Structure 1
Amino acid sequence: MLLFSSYYDLELLYSLYLKFWAETLLYFRNFTLYISLWFFCYILVCCVVYRRYARRLPTRTRGSLRAKRVLVVVAHPDDECMFFGPTIFRLCEQGADVHLLCLSNGNFEGKGHIRRQELWDACEELGIPDKNICLINDTRLRDNPKINWPVPVVAKLIQRQLEMLDVDTLVTFDRGGVSSHVNHSAVFYAVAYMFVEKIMPTRCTVYTLDSVNILRKYLGFFDLPLSFVLSSKRYFLRWTESRRVVRAMKRHKSQMVWFRHLYVCFSRYMVINTLRRISLTDIELELEVDD
């Protein structure tokens, strides 16, 4: 009797074991099906947005800032391609007079003299004339992720360029600096300082480049629907146009290590830029968050 009972218990356990694995496999099969369906629908949405809103819209009205003379402020040579490529490309195409202020020569690895020439070569590819490039070589603004640049110094350099060039639109990093590099963020804080100290020219409209989470950052083309929904000012490049930004980035030969090749392939910033117009009120809210 005892033997029969043990046998019955083993048979029951075995049937429960089989039932557990059958339900687990069914769950994973359904989960995979739902994820695949969601992914297919999302790709379909990307294609629809690309075809309906991005590909067909007239080039000169797509995401236009209505800017005549623009100053793009970056921290290092290659920032203009890695992060601002679509904006610079489209502004040049729309006929804006685009100027670039680069606040360091990128001498972190002792290649400052090489990176200087690479900057000029990359800007030629993007459409910025040589005379519109200003590269700062100041010992107080060294390319180093561990050094905080003095905000008043950066603000003074930006102010001088804005007034000298009579700029109507300024484009630069937001507080996150896209990659959380402290030199990038220093540019934003310099702009914030200019607003707070009321030395920002009144006729100058300021836009910052949106920093996004790491998932969106490497979605590339697939971030297009989110960019259209979440941002009103956006620059998107078609496949043929994005190749020009890629060529410009590859002019920075000293920086093209293996992970930057991956960045060029997958980063949304090579094909999409979303911008946000900021004012003194926005700056005060940002600074409150920091406090």
Structure 2
Amino acid sequence: MLDTEVQYDLEFFYRFYLKILGETLLYFRNFALYISVWVFSYLVVCCIVYRRYARRLPTRTRGALKTKRVLMVVAHPDDECMFFGPTIFRLCEQGADVHVLCLTNGNYEGKGQIRRSELWDACKELGVPGQNICLIMDTRLRDDPKCQWPVPIVAKLIQHRLESLDIDTLVTFDRGGISSHPNHSAVFYAVAYMFVEKLVPKRCTVYTLDSVNVLRKYIAFLDLPLSFVLSSKRYFLRWTESRRVVRAMKRHKSQMVWFRHLYVMFSRYMVINTLRRISLADIELELEVDD
């Protein structure tokens, strides 16, 4: 009698185990199917947006800044390719007079002279004339994430370039600095200081490059639909055009360590730039968030 009960209990637990296992496998199968459908649908949307908008000629003017003389303010040599490449390439293609202001020579590893030369080579590849490049050599502005750049000094340097070149559009980093590098963010705070102190020329419009989360940052062309929906000012490059930005980035040979090769392959900033126009009200809101 006891053996019969034990056998019955074992059969019960065996059937119960098979039932749980079957339901678990069914759940994971349905979950995998659900995710696969979403991924496939998103890829289809990416292809549609790319073919319909990014590959067409009107994209060259769609969402454009409509600028004649633009100043790109970056912190280090290679920033112009790593982050602003699509914007610089497209503006040069549209015939805008593009100027680049680089606030350091990138001497963090003692390669300042090499990186200076690489900056000129990279900008030439993007279409920026050599005479339109200005590199600052100031001991107060060191290429160092631990160095706190004096905001008024940076603001004064930017203001001088804006006024001397009669710039109508300024493009630089946002508060996040794309990679959260303190030197990048310092440029934004200098521009914020200029707004507060009313140092921005009245005819000058200011745009910042959107910082995005890590997932969006490293999905390259797959960020196209989100960029199109979430931003009104955007520059997309076709696959063949993005190779030009890649070639420009590779001019920075001293910086092309293994992880930057991965960055070039997967970063959306090599193919997509989304920009946001900012005003004094936006700056005040940003500073309130910091406080």
Sort the TM-score into its range (normalised by shorter chain): over 0.9
C-alpha displacement of 1:228: 0.3
Letter in 1 for 2:277: R
Q: Which runs of 5+ in 2 are unaligned?
A: none
Task: Specify the SS of the correspondent of 2:178.
Answer: coil
Would you say the 8 A contact 2:104–2:137 is kept in 1? Answer: yes
Paired with 1:185 and 1:12, the residues of 2 have a C-alpha distance of 64
The Cα offsets for residues 188-227 of structure 1, whole Å up to 9 and x where unpaired, read as 0000000000111110000000000000000100000000
Letter in 2 for 1:37: V
Paired with 2:80 and 2:90, the residues of 1 have a C-alpha distance of 13
C-alpha displacement of 1:6: 1.2
* Percentage of matched positions with identical amino acids: 82
Paired with 1:113 and 1:63, the residues of 2 have a C-alpha distance of 37
Match of 1:241 in 2: 241
C-alpha displacement of 1:75: 0.1
Q: TM-score, normalised by structure 1?
A: 0.99
C-alpha displacement of 1:60: 3.9
Superposed CA RMSD: 0.7
Paired with 1:57 and 1:16, the residues of 2 have a C-alpha distance of 63
The Cα offsets for residues 238-289 of structure 1, whole Å up to 9 and x where unpaired, read as 0010000000000000000000000000000000000000000000000000
Match of 1:103 in 2: 103
The Cα offsets for residues 163-206 of structure 1, whole Å up to 9 and x where unpaired, read as 00000000000000000000000000000000000111110000
Would you say the 8 A contact 2:53–2:59 is kept in 1? Answer: no
C-alpha displacement of 1:58: 2.1
Deviates more, 1:8-17 or 1:168-177: 8-17
Q: 4+ residue runs of structure 1 moved beyond 6 angstroms?
A: none
Letter in 1 for 2:89: F
Paired with 1:29 and 1:260, the residues of 2 have a C-alpha distance of 37
The count of corresponding residues between Structure 1 and Structure 2 is 291
Match of 1:43 in 2: 43
C-alpha displacement of 1:147: 1.2
Would you say the 8 A contact 2:172–2:187 is kept in 1? Answer: yes
Task: Specify the SS of the correspondent of 1:141.
Answer: coil
Match of 1:263 in 2: 263
Letter in 2 for 1:124: K
C-alpha displacement of 1:104: 0.2
Task: Specify the SS of the correspondent of 2:235.
Answer: strand
Q: How does 1:115-154 map to 2 (within 5 A)?
A: 115-154=115-154
Paired with 1:120 and 1:73, the residues of 2 have a C-alpha distance of 15
Paired with 1:253 and 1:190, the residues of 2 have a C-alpha distance of 30
Task: Specify the SS of the correspondent of 1:273.
Answer: strand
Paired with 2:176 and 2:280, the residues of 1 have a C-alpha distance of 18
Paired with 1:63 and 1:92, the residues of 2 have a C-alpha distance of 15
Paired with 1:4 and 1:139, the residues of 2 have a C-alpha distance of 89
Paired with 1:283 and 1:119, the residues of 2 have a C-alpha distance of 30
Paired with 1:186 and 1:77, the residues of 2 have a C-alpha distance of 16
C-alpha displacement of 1:62: 2.7
C-alpha displacement of 1:71: 0.1
Would you say the 8 A contact 2:171–2:209 is kept in 1? Answer: yes
C-alpha displacement of 1:59: 5.0
Match of 2:72 in 1: 72
Match of 1:281 in 2: 281
Q: TM-score, normalised by structure 2?
A: 0.99
Paired with 1:59 and 1:96, the residues of 2 have a C-alpha distance of 16
Paired with 2:132 and 2:205, the residues of 1 have a C-alpha distance of 19
Match of 2:203 in 1: 203
Match of 1:85 in 2: 85
Match of 1:17 in 2: 17
C-alpha displacement of 1:57: 3.9
Paired with 2:61 and 2:197, the residues of 1 have a C-alpha distance of 34
Task: Specify the SS of the correspondent of 2:180.
Answer: coil
Q: Which runs of 5+ in 1 are unaligned?
A: none
Would you say the 8 A contact 2:59–2:236 is kept in 1? Answer: no
Match of 1:29 in 2: 29
The Cα offsets for residues 14-73 of structure 1, whole Å up to 9 and x where unpaired, read as 111111111111111111111111111000000100111221242541321010000000
The Cα offsets for residues 127-181 of structure 1, whole Å up to 9 and x where unpaired, read as 0000000000100000011111110010000000000000000000000000000
